[in-house]
Protein backbone atom coordinates (compact mmCIF):
# COMPACT_ATOMS: atom_id res chain seq x y z
CA UNK A 1 0.00 0.00 0.00
CA UNK A 2 2.84 2.37 0.85
CA UNK A 3 4.45 1.92 -2.60
CA UNK A 4 1.11 2.52 -4.33
CA UNK A 5 0.68 5.71 -2.34
CA UNK A 6 4.15 6.94 -3.19
CA UNK A 7 3.51 6.27 -6.87
CA UNK A 8 0.54 8.66 -6.80
CA UNK A 9 2.45 11.54 -5.22
CA UNK A 10 4.52 13.92 -7.35
CA UNK A 11 6.52 16.72 -5.73
CA UNK A 12 7.83 19.95 -7.23
CA UNK A 13 10.50 21.86 -5.31
CA UNK A 14 10.06 25.64 -5.40
CA UNK A 15 11.34 28.70 -3.57
CA UNK A 16 9.17 31.79 -3.63
CA UNK A 17 8.07 34.67 -1.42
CA UNK A 18 4.66 34.57 0.23
CA UNK A 19 3.31 38.13 0.17
CA UNK A 20 1.02 39.71 2.73
CA UNK A 21 -0.53 43.08 1.92
CA UNK A 22 -1.87 45.40 4.60
CA UNK A 23 -3.58 47.54 1.96
CA UNK A 24 -7.18 46.29 1.89
CA UNK A 25 -8.54 48.91 -0.48
CA UNK A 26 -10.04 47.32 -3.58
CA UNK A 27 -8.57 49.68 -6.15
CA UNK A 28 -8.88 47.65 -9.35
CA UNK A 29 -12.52 47.88 -10.52
CA UNK A 30 -12.19 45.20 -13.21
CA UNK A 31 -10.92 42.65 -10.68
CA UNK A 32 -13.59 43.68 -8.17
CA UNK A 33 -16.25 43.09 -10.83
CA UNK A 34 -14.76 39.69 -11.63
CA UNK A 35 -14.70 38.76 -7.94
CA UNK A 36 -18.36 39.71 -7.55
CA UNK A 37 -19.23 37.63 -10.62
CA UNK A 38 -17.31 34.65 -9.22
CA UNK A 39 -19.17 34.80 -5.90
CA UNK A 40 -22.55 34.57 -7.60
CA UNK A 41 -21.55 31.96 -10.18
CA UNK A 42 -20.55 29.06 -7.92
CA UNK A 43 -22.16 25.70 -8.66
CA UNK A 44 -22.27 22.37 -6.86
CA UNK A 45 -21.08 19.35 -8.80
CA UNK A 46 -23.20 17.03 -6.66
CA UNK A 47 -26.53 18.83 -7.04
CA UNK A 48 -26.33 20.88 -10.25
CA UNK A 49 -25.41 17.91 -12.47
CA UNK A 50 -27.59 14.83 -13.00
CA UNK A 51 -25.27 11.91 -12.27
CA UNK A 52 -28.10 9.40 -12.75
CA UNK A 53 -27.74 9.74 -16.53
CA UNK A 54 -26.67 6.53 -18.26
CA UNK A 55 -23.61 7.10 -20.44
CA UNK A 56 -22.59 4.92 -23.38
CA UNK A 57 -18.77 5.24 -23.60
CA UNK A 58 -18.78 4.00 -27.19
CA UNK A 59 -21.28 6.65 -28.27
CA UNK A 60 -19.36 9.37 -26.45
CA UNK A 61 -16.20 8.05 -28.09
CA UNK A 62 -17.72 8.18 -31.56
CA UNK A 63 -18.81 11.78 -31.03
CA UNK A 64 -15.67 13.10 -29.33
CA UNK A 65 -12.97 10.67 -30.34
CA UNK A 66 -14.49 9.06 -33.41
CA UNK A 67 -14.47 12.11 -35.61
CA UNK A 68 -10.99 13.09 -34.49
CA UNK A 69 -9.68 9.54 -34.88
CA UNK A 70 -11.13 9.33 -38.36
CA UNK A 71 -9.81 12.70 -39.49
CA UNK A 72 -6.56 12.94 -37.53
CA UNK A 73 -5.38 9.36 -37.30
CA UNK A 74 -7.34 7.07 -39.61
CA UNK A 75 -5.75 8.69 -42.66
CA UNK A 76 -2.43 7.33 -41.37
CA UNK A 77 -3.60 3.80 -42.23
CA UNK A 78 -2.64 4.63 -45.83
CA UNK A 79 0.93 5.68 -45.02
CA UNK A 80 3.77 3.22 -45.66
CA UNK A 81 5.30 2.10 -42.39
CA UNK A 82 2.37 3.36 -40.31
CA UNK A 83 1.75 1.12 -37.26
CA UNK A 84 -2.04 1.43 -37.77
CA UNK A 85 -2.16 0.18 -41.37
CA UNK A 86 -3.73 -3.09 -40.23
CA UNK A 87 -6.49 -1.42 -38.15
CA UNK A 88 -10.07 -2.42 -38.96
CA UNK A 89 -13.40 -0.98 -37.87
CA UNK A 90 -13.28 -2.61 -34.43
CA UNK A 91 -9.80 -1.19 -33.82
CA UNK A 92 -10.89 2.33 -34.74
CA UNK A 93 -13.94 2.02 -32.49
CA UNK A 94 -11.63 1.19 -29.61
CA UNK A 95 -9.39 4.11 -30.56
CA UNK A 96 -12.37 6.46 -30.37
CA UNK A 97 -13.30 5.21 -26.88
CA UNK A 98 -9.76 5.43 -25.57
CA UNK A 99 -9.17 8.80 -27.20
CA UNK A 100 -11.94 10.53 -25.31
CA UNK A 101 -10.80 8.88 -22.05
CA UNK A 102 -7.31 10.21 -22.74
CA UNK A 103 -8.59 13.71 -23.54
CA UNK A 104 -10.70 13.98 -20.41
CA UNK A 105 -7.95 12.49 -18.24
CA UNK A 106 -5.47 15.16 -19.34
CA UNK A 107 -8.05 17.85 -18.67
CA UNK A 108 -8.51 16.40 -15.18
CA UNK A 109 -4.76 16.51 -14.52
CA UNK A 110 -4.55 20.01 -15.96
CA UNK A 111 -7.31 21.15 -13.61
CA UNK A 112 -5.29 19.92 -10.63
CA UNK A 113 -2.36 21.88 -12.01
CA UNK A 114 -4.63 24.93 -12.11
CA UNK A 115 -5.72 24.24 -8.54
CA UNK A 116 -2.12 24.33 -7.30
CA UNK A 117 -1.09 27.29 -9.48
CA UNK A 118 -4.02 29.38 -8.30
CA UNK A 119 -3.27 28.55 -4.67
CA UNK A 120 0.24 29.81 -5.45
CA UNK A 121 -1.21 33.04 -6.88
CA UNK A 122 -3.13 33.66 -3.64
CA UNK A 123 0.20 33.52 -1.81
CA UNK A 124 2.35 35.48 -4.22
CA UNK A 125 0.29 38.18 -5.95
CA UNK A 126 0.75 41.57 -4.19
CA UNK A 127 -2.78 42.99 -4.67
CA UNK A 128 -5.71 42.26 -2.35
CA UNK A 129 -8.18 42.38 -5.27
CA UNK A 130 -6.30 39.55 -6.98
CA UNK A 131 -5.99 37.52 -3.76
CA UNK A 132 -9.76 37.72 -3.29
CA UNK A 133 -10.52 36.56 -6.81
CA UNK A 134 -7.83 33.84 -6.86
CA UNK A 135 -9.37 32.36 -3.70
CA UNK A 136 -12.63 31.82 -5.59
CA UNK A 137 -10.73 30.17 -8.42
CA UNK A 138 -9.14 27.68 -6.03
CA UNK A 139 -12.67 26.48 -5.25
CA UNK A 140 -13.54 26.40 -8.96
CA UNK A 141 -10.52 24.26 -9.78
CA UNK A 142 -11.23 21.78 -6.98
CA UNK A 143 -14.73 21.38 -8.41
CA UNK A 144 -13.33 20.82 -11.92
CA UNK A 145 -10.96 18.08 -10.73
CA UNK A 146 -13.90 16.51 -8.92
CA UNK A 147 -16.25 16.42 -11.92
CA UNK A 148 -13.72 15.11 -14.43
CA UNK A 149 -12.53 12.40 -12.02
CA UNK A 150 -16.10 11.37 -11.26
CA UNK A 151 -17.12 11.30 -14.91
CA UNK A 152 -14.10 9.20 -15.86
CA UNK A 153 -14.55 6.76 -12.98
CA UNK A 154 -18.33 6.40 -12.93
CA UNK A 155 -19.25 6.84 -16.61
CA UNK A 156 -16.21 5.90 -18.70
CA UNK A 157 -14.54 3.32 -16.49
CA UNK A 158 -10.89 4.35 -16.26
CA UNK A 159 -8.38 7.20 -16.22
CA UNK A 160 -5.03 7.78 -17.90
CA UNK A 161 -1.93 9.03 -16.10
CA UNK A 162 -0.66 12.50 -16.82
CA UNK A 163 0.96 13.14 -20.20
CA UNK A 164 4.71 13.85 -19.82
CA UNK A 165 4.45 17.11 -21.79
CA UNK A 166 1.68 18.41 -19.54
CA UNK A 167 3.51 17.26 -16.42
CA UNK A 168 6.64 19.07 -17.54
CA UNK A 169 4.72 22.29 -18.19
CA UNK A 170 3.05 22.20 -14.77
CA UNK A 171 6.36 21.45 -13.04
CA UNK A 172 8.03 24.37 -14.78
CA UNK A 173 5.24 26.80 -13.90
CA UNK A 174 5.18 25.76 -10.25
CA UNK A 175 8.96 25.81 -9.89
CA UNK A 176 9.33 29.37 -11.18
CA UNK A 177 9.55 31.91 -8.33
CA UNK A 178 8.11 34.83 -10.39
CA UNK A 179 4.45 35.31 -9.48
CA UNK A 180 3.44 36.45 -12.95
CA UNK A 181 4.68 33.20 -14.54
CA UNK A 182 1.97 31.27 -12.71
CA UNK A 183 -0.51 33.70 -14.26
CA UNK A 184 0.99 33.53 -17.75
CA UNK A 185 1.60 29.80 -17.84
CA UNK A 186 -1.69 28.71 -16.28
CA UNK A 187 -4.28 31.48 -16.69
CA UNK A 188 -3.33 32.50 -20.23
CA UNK A 189 -1.72 29.44 -21.83
CA UNK A 190 -3.05 26.26 -20.18
CA UNK A 191 -6.50 27.61 -19.30
CA UNK A 192 -6.78 29.44 -22.63
CA UNK A 193 -6.11 26.25 -24.57
CA UNK A 194 -8.50 24.30 -22.32
CA UNK A 195 -11.27 26.85 -22.91
CA UNK A 196 -10.90 26.46 -26.68
CA UNK A 197 -10.82 22.65 -26.43
CA UNK A 198 -13.87 22.55 -24.14
CA UNK A 199 -15.75 24.66 -26.67
CA UNK A 200 -14.95 22.21 -29.46
CA UNK A 201 -15.95 19.22 -27.31
CA UNK A 202 -19.17 20.94 -26.23
CA UNK A 203 -20.13 21.41 -29.88
CA UNK A 204 -19.40 17.78 -30.78
CA UNK A 205 -21.07 15.87 -27.96
CA UNK A 206 -24.78 15.23 -27.46
CA UNK A 207 -24.29 13.33 -24.17
CA UNK A 208 -26.35 15.45 -21.74
CA UNK A 209 -24.26 15.07 -18.59
CA UNK A 210 -20.96 15.78 -20.34
CA UNK A 211 -22.46 18.65 -22.32
CA UNK A 212 -23.79 20.38 -19.21
CA UNK A 213 -20.61 19.67 -17.27
CA UNK A 214 -18.45 21.19 -20.01
CA UNK A 215 -20.69 24.26 -20.21
CA UNK A 216 -20.43 24.88 -16.48
CA UNK A 217 -16.66 24.40 -16.54
CA UNK A 218 -16.39 26.79 -19.50
CA UNK A 219 -18.27 29.42 -17.48
CA UNK A 220 -15.60 29.22 -14.81
CA UNK A 221 -12.66 28.96 -17.21
CA UNK A 222 -13.62 32.13 -19.04
CA UNK A 223 -13.42 34.05 -15.76
CA UNK A 224 -10.07 32.44 -14.99
CA UNK A 225 -8.53 33.50 -18.28
CA UNK A 226 -10.02 36.98 -17.88
CA UNK A 227 -8.36 37.14 -14.44
CA UNK A 228 -4.99 36.50 -16.07
CA UNK A 229 -5.57 39.08 -18.80
CA UNK A 230 -6.76 41.81 -16.42
CA UNK A 231 -3.93 41.24 -13.93
CA UNK A 232 -1.02 40.83 -16.33
CA UNK A 233 -2.10 43.69 -18.59
CA UNK A 234 -1.38 46.09 -15.74
CA UNK A 235 1.84 44.40 -14.65
CA UNK A 236 3.37 43.97 -18.11
CA UNK A 237 3.08 47.68 -18.87
CA UNK A 238 5.88 48.21 -16.37
CA UNK A 239 8.32 45.54 -17.65
CA UNK A 240 11.43 46.18 -19.75
CA UNK A 241 11.87 44.82 -23.29
CA UNK A 242 14.21 42.14 -21.94
CA UNK A 243 11.67 41.04 -19.34
CA UNK A 244 8.89 40.97 -21.92
CA UNK A 245 11.04 38.90 -24.29
CA UNK A 246 11.50 36.34 -21.52
CA UNK A 247 7.71 36.11 -21.17
CA UNK A 248 7.27 35.82 -24.94
CA UNK A 249 9.72 32.94 -25.18
CA UNK A 250 8.14 31.22 -22.19
CA UNK A 251 4.63 31.57 -23.68
CA UNK A 252 5.67 30.20 -27.06
CA UNK A 253 7.50 27.21 -25.58
CA UNK A 254 4.47 26.36 -23.43
CA UNK A 255 2.22 26.66 -26.48
CA UNK A 256 4.34 24.23 -28.51
CA UNK A 257 4.46 21.73 -25.66
CA UNK A 258 0.72 22.00 -25.13
CA UNK A 259 0.21 20.94 -28.74
CA UNK A 260 2.20 17.77 -28.08
CA UNK A 261 -0.07 17.08 -25.11
CA UNK A 262 -2.74 16.09 -27.67
CA UNK A 263 -0.63 13.40 -29.34
CA UNK A 264 -1.96 10.83 -26.81
CA UNK A 265 1.24 8.85 -26.36
CA UNK A 266 -0.19 7.08 -23.31
CA UNK A 267 -3.26 5.99 -25.27
CA UNK A 268 -1.27 4.49 -28.14
CA UNK A 269 0.93 2.64 -25.67
CA UNK A 270 -2.18 1.17 -24.06
CA UNK A 271 -3.31 -0.01 -27.51
CA UNK A 272 0.08 -1.59 -28.23
CA UNK A 273 0.95 0.92 -30.96
CA UNK A 274 4.43 2.38 -31.45
CA UNK A 275 3.60 6.05 -30.81
CA UNK A 276 6.88 7.35 -32.23
CA UNK A 277 6.31 5.46 -35.49
CA UNK A 278 2.81 6.90 -35.64
CA UNK A 279 4.11 10.44 -35.20
CA UNK A 280 6.68 9.90 -37.94
CA UNK A 281 3.86 8.87 -40.26
CA UNK A 282 1.90 11.94 -39.23
CA UNK A 283 4.89 14.18 -39.97
CA UNK A 284 4.98 12.73 -43.49
CA UNK A 285 1.34 13.45 -44.25
CA UNK A 286 0.33 16.29 -41.89
CA UNK A 287 -3.44 15.63 -42.22
CA UNK A 288 -5.42 18.81 -42.75
CA UNK A 289 -7.76 17.90 -39.89
CA UNK A 290 -4.80 17.57 -37.52
CA UNK A 291 -3.48 20.97 -38.50
CA UNK A 292 -6.91 22.58 -38.14
CA UNK A 293 -7.43 20.99 -34.72
CA UNK A 294 -4.08 22.22 -33.43
CA UNK A 295 -4.62 25.70 -34.86
CA UNK A 296 -8.05 26.07 -33.23
CA UNK A 297 -6.48 25.39 -29.84
CA UNK A 298 -4.79 28.81 -30.19
CA UNK A 299 -8.05 30.69 -30.77
CA UNK A 300 -8.09 31.96 -27.17
CA UNK A 301 -4.32 32.18 -26.60
CA UNK A 302 -3.39 34.50 -29.49
CA UNK A 303 -5.93 37.31 -28.82
CA UNK A 304 -5.16 37.22 -25.11
CA UNK A 305 -1.42 37.50 -25.79
CA UNK A 306 -2.22 40.49 -28.00
CA UNK A 307 -4.26 42.08 -25.22
CA UNK A 308 -1.23 41.70 -22.93
CA UNK A 309 1.05 43.41 -25.44
CA UNK A 310 3.13 40.26 -25.93
CA UNK A 311 2.54 39.90 -29.67
CA UNK A 312 4.41 43.06 -30.66
CA UNK A 313 6.85 43.55 -27.78
CA UNK A 314 10.56 43.04 -28.52
CA UNK A 315 10.16 43.85 -32.20
CA UNK A 316 7.18 41.55 -32.68
CA UNK A 317 9.04 38.35 -31.76
CA UNK A 318 5.93 36.44 -30.69
CA UNK A 319 3.94 37.70 -33.68
CA UNK A 320 6.60 36.19 -35.94
CA UNK A 321 6.49 32.85 -34.10
CA UNK A 322 2.69 32.65 -34.23
CA UNK A 323 2.83 33.57 -37.93
CA UNK A 324 5.31 30.75 -38.59
CA UNK A 325 3.02 28.12 -37.03
CA UNK A 326 -0.07 29.47 -38.78
CA UNK A 327 -2.15 30.82 -35.89
CA UNK A 328 -1.75 34.61 -36.15
CA UNK A 329 -5.19 34.82 -37.82
CA UNK A 330 -6.77 34.56 -34.34
CA UNK A 331 -5.24 37.81 -33.08
CA UNK A 332 -8.44 39.84 -33.52
CA UNK A 333 -10.81 37.22 -32.14
CA UNK A 334 -12.56 38.12 -28.87
CA UNK A 335 -10.16 38.26 -25.95
CA UNK A 336 -11.41 36.62 -22.78
CA UNK A 337 -11.15 39.80 -20.74
CA UNK A 338 -14.44 40.84 -22.34
CA UNK A 339 -15.95 37.42 -23.03
CA UNK A 340 -16.55 35.82 -19.65
CA UNK A 341 -20.02 37.32 -19.07
CA UNK A 342 -21.26 35.79 -22.33
CA UNK A 343 -20.23 32.32 -21.13
CA UNK A 344 -21.80 32.58 -17.66
CA UNK A 345 -24.16 29.62 -17.96
CA UNK A 346 -24.58 29.35 -14.20
CA UNK A 347 -26.02 32.86 -13.93
CA UNK A 348 -28.38 32.19 -16.83
CA UNK A 349 -29.61 28.96 -15.26
CA UNK A 350 -30.17 30.73 -11.95
CA UNK A 351 -32.05 33.60 -13.61
CA UNK A 352 -34.23 31.12 -15.50
CA UNK A 353 -35.03 29.23 -12.30
CA UNK A 354 -35.89 32.50 -10.52
CA UNK A 355 -38.20 33.48 -13.39
CA UNK A 356 -39.93 30.09 -13.23
CA UNK A 357 -40.42 30.39 -9.47
CA UNK A 358 -41.82 33.92 -9.87
CA UNK A 359 -44.21 32.82 -12.60
CA UNK A 360 -45.36 29.86 -10.51
CA UNK A 361 -45.96 32.10 -7.49
CA UNK A 362 -48.07 34.60 -9.47
CA UNK A 363 -50.01 31.97 -11.43
pLDDT confidence tier of residue 258, bands split at 50, 70 and 90: confident
pLDDT digits (tens, 9 = 90+) for 22-78: 999 999 999 999 999 999 999 999 999 999 999 999 999 888 765 555 567 777 777
Per-residue b/e over 101-135, b at no fewer than 16 CB within 10 Å?
bbbbbbbbbbbbbbbbbbbbbbebbebbbbbbbbe
pLDDT confidence tier of residue 6, bands split at 50, 70 and 90: very low
Average pLDDT over residues 299-315: 93
Average pLDDT over residues 314-333: 93
Q: Report whether pLDDT(5) > 70.
A: no
**Amino acid 158: pLDDT:** 92
**Amino acid 67: pLDDT:** 58
pLDDT digits (tens, 9 = 90+) for 175-215: 999 999 999 999 999 999 898 889 889 988 999 999 999 99
Average pLDDT over residues 227-233: 93
228 or 362: whose pLDDT is higher? 228
Three-state SS letters, the chain: CHHHHHHCCCCCCCCCCCCCCCCCCCCCHHHHHHHHHHHHCCCCCCCCCCCCCCCCHHHHHHHHHHHHHHHHHHHHHHCCCCCCCCCCHHHHHHHHHHHHHHHHHHHHHHHHHHHHHHHHHHHHCCCHHHHHHHHHHHHHHHHHHHHHHHHHHHHHCCCCCCCHHHHHHHHHHHHCCCHHHHHHHHHHHHHHHHHHHHHHHHHHCCCHHHHHHHHHHHHHHHHHHHHHHHHHHHHHCCCCHHHHHHHHHHHHHHHHHHHHHCCCHHHHHHCCCCHHHHHHHHHHHCCHHHHHHHHHCCCCHHHHHHHCCCCCHHHHHHHHHHHHCCCHHHCCCCCHHHHCCCCCHHHHHHHHHHHHHHHHHHC
Q: Report whether pLDDT(283) > 80.
A: no
**Amino acid 49: pLDDT:** 96
pLDDT digits (tens, 9 = 90+) for 126-150: 999 999 999 999 999 999 999 999 9
Q: Report whether pLDDT(3) > 60.
A: no
Q: Report whether pLDDT(80) > 90.
A: no
Q: Please tell me the pTM assigned to this model.
A: 0.89
pLDDT digits (tens, 9 = 90+) for 87-132: 888 898 899 899 899 999 999 999 999 999 999 999 999 999 999 9
CB 297 within 8 A of CB 197: yes
Structural domains in the chain, CATH included, are: 55-357 (1.10.620.20)
Amino acid sequence: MMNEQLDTIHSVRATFDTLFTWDYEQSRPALVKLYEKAKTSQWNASTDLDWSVDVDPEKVGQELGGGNATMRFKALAEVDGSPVRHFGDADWTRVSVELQNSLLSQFMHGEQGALLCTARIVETVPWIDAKYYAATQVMDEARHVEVFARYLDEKLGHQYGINPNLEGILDEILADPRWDIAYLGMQIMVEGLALAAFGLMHQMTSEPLLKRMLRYVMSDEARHVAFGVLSLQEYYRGLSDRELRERQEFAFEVARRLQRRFMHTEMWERLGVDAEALYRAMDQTRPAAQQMFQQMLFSKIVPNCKKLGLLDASGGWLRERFTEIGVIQFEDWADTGEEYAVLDEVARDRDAATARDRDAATA
